[in-house]
Chain A
Amino acid sequence: MNEHIVKAYEDELNMLTAECARMGGLTEAAVADALEAVVRRDQQMADSVVARDERLDVLQADIERKEIRMIALRQPLANDLRRTVAAMKIANNLERVGDLAKNIAKRTIVIIDSDPMVPLTRSIERMGRLVVTRLKEVLDAYTASDLERAMSVWSRDDEVDEHYNSLFRELLTYMMGDPRTITACAHLLFVAKNLERIGDHATNIAEIIHYEITGDEAIATARPKTDALQRP
């Protein structure tokens, strides 16, 4: 790719992508730590995730402000336009992921009060690991502009959904078996739901990368969906 004639424009575009990637790194860490907090019943870790969320909000607002400035001053077109729009949309998705991680951490604080439920925690951990891996892969794909890697995340969207559906059934069994677990299980259900949503955001990001690189926006409708509410 040739360089822009206006050097400052080139620098601003690069900076935008870099900041988005940095925000991605922080978000990924927040999700991983929130999961760690649930699994290890670690209050301190949970508190730290909650405290760090504000930083993500600030970053997202900052990226958005720079985007608006860029659109006003530079009027990006073609691949530059797609890159600008992609960075803004990805920052939005990451901000939402950050909120979900914070929500997981907040629930951890309640879950810690109840008795440990080891098999359930294992299931949450497996699902969480998968989600963290997907998020990491898709962010790596973004940084490297690697369409193939982004698409491999995209095409495996239903793995997380399947985990969630099976966790949902597992939690129901628990709650029916022992009503005293209902409070903790309800919170765990939300944790699972949040993880599932984070997985969806990773898929969104994969679609955004696809648009940024190819200019084709048709992919969003092609995704297979596995849904607990869907009857076979």
Chain B
Amino acid sequence: MTPMSNLGASLQMTAQRDDALASAGTSRAAAGKVSASEVSVFYGEKQALFDVSLDMPDRMVTALIGPSGCGKSTFLRCINRMNDTIPGARVEGKIVIDGEDVNDRKVDPVLLRARVGMVFQKPNPFPKSIFENVAYGPRIHGFADNKSELADIVESSLKRAGLWKEVADRLQAPGTSLSGGQQQRLVIARAIAVSPEVILMDEPCSALDPIATAKIEELIDDLRSQYCIVIVTHSMAQAARVSQRTAFFHMGAVVEAGATDEIFTNPRDTRTQDYITGRFG
């Protein structure tokens, strides 16, 4: 892509974002950066997802909520084809990112996972230095021509992940020497170092204390201006705080999806209501 066409694309994206933001306040589905239609997932004989259709708009945080085993993580893993790695898993339906089918044979899952970064429940830094953790992705994808470019990418990624100030003087220390919350931000820095378009987060704060959680939430809010973020969380309050759109999953299906403030003040479906208010489902 030439710099000019790049600029054109980003202008177009800004326009899309304004549209998406304008509709965020309504329950009308916003146009998706990532768009799933009738996605079903089978693990062997067992069906885990049933015809899930969901739009996840760019530059917004979409929260997936629902009781354990409802399929939200399974759905998340479909977006960057993590289910490919599970023997016996089969995905039906269509997931497109900017109109491109992620399950298309031409799509290389490795490149797809660079476009669609993922952050897990437990921080999983590589057993390498802080620098190497972040430099690894850009290096293997050939994003940097020389050492100083690579160092720039590492620095800017750590800055965007809000970790730079805390680690600038010890980049060669092992990633695992950091605290849990710092490790989680390191993993986020690693994900954004390869310039992804979509960031998936699977309960990114469930192993963190409230302060580290607040830092991650602040970071998510920052990152929202550049990425399409999809987050699975068990904390209703967190979903309400960080997301603009929320989808409630129950027994492998999307029961209700819409603007977050609507879902948390005035849900349409009684199952959503029962779940978020802590009643028996």
Per-residue contact bits, chain A 66-78, to B (CB 8 Å; 1 contact, 0 not): 0000000001111
Kindly state the separation between the CA atoms of A219 and B215 in the bound complex, as whole angstroms.
39
Partner of B273, one of A3, A9, A75, A78: A78
A5 touches B279 (CB 8 A): yes
Per-residue contact bits, chain A 29-54, to B (CB 8 Å; 1 contact, 0 not): 00000000000000000000000000
Partner of A1, one of B264, B278, B279: B279
In the complex where A77-B236, A79-B273 touch, is A215 in contact with B279 (Cβ < 8 A)? no
Partner of A82, one of B265, B278, B281: B265
- Residue B86 lies at the interface, judged by CB distance under 8 Å to chain A: no
**Does more than half of chain A's interface fall in helix, strand or loop, or is it mixed?**
loop
A2 touches B266 (CB 8 A): no
Kindly state the separation between the CA atoms of A138 and B68 in the bound complex, as whole angstroms.
42
Kindly state the separation between the CA atoms of A4 and B274 in the bound complex, as whole angstroms.
8
- Residue A112 lies at the interface, judged by CB distance under 8 Å to chain B: no
Count of B interface residues, CB-CB < 8 Å = 16
- Residue A120 lies at the interface, judged by CB distance under 8 Å to chain B: no
Kindly state the separation between the CA atoms of A9 and B280 in the bound complex, as whole angstroms.
13
A78 touches B278 (CB 8 A): no
Give the Cβ gap from A127 to chain B, nearest Cβ, in Å: 37
Residue from B240, B276, B277 with most neighbouring chain A CB atoms (10 Å): B277
A4 touches B279 (CB 8 A): yes
- Residue A171 lies at the interface, judged by CB distance under 8 Å to chain B: no
Partner of A76, one of B267, B277, B281: B277
Per-residue contact bits, chain B 235-272, to A (CB 8 Å; 1 contact, 0 not): 01100100000000000000000000000111100001
In the complex where A77-B236, A78-B273, A79-B273 touch, is A2 in contact with B265 (Cβ < 8 A)? no
B280 touches A77 (CB 8 A): no
Residues of A within 8 A of B278 (CB): 4-6, 9
B265 touches A215 (CB 8 A): yes
Give the Cβ gap from A147 to chain B, nearest Cβ, in Å: 14
- Residue A59 lies at the interface, judged by CB distance under 8 Å to chain B: no
Per-residue contact bits, chain B 98-139, to A (CB 8 Å; 1 contact, 0 not): 000000000000000000000000000000000000000000
Chain B interface (Cβ < 8 Å from any Cβ of A): 236-237, 240, 264-267, 272-274, 276-281
Chain A interface (Cβ < 8 Å from any Cβ of B): 1-6, 9, 75-82, 214-216
Lowest 4 CB-CB distances: which A-B pairs, in order? A215-B266, A2-B279, A2-B280, A80-B277
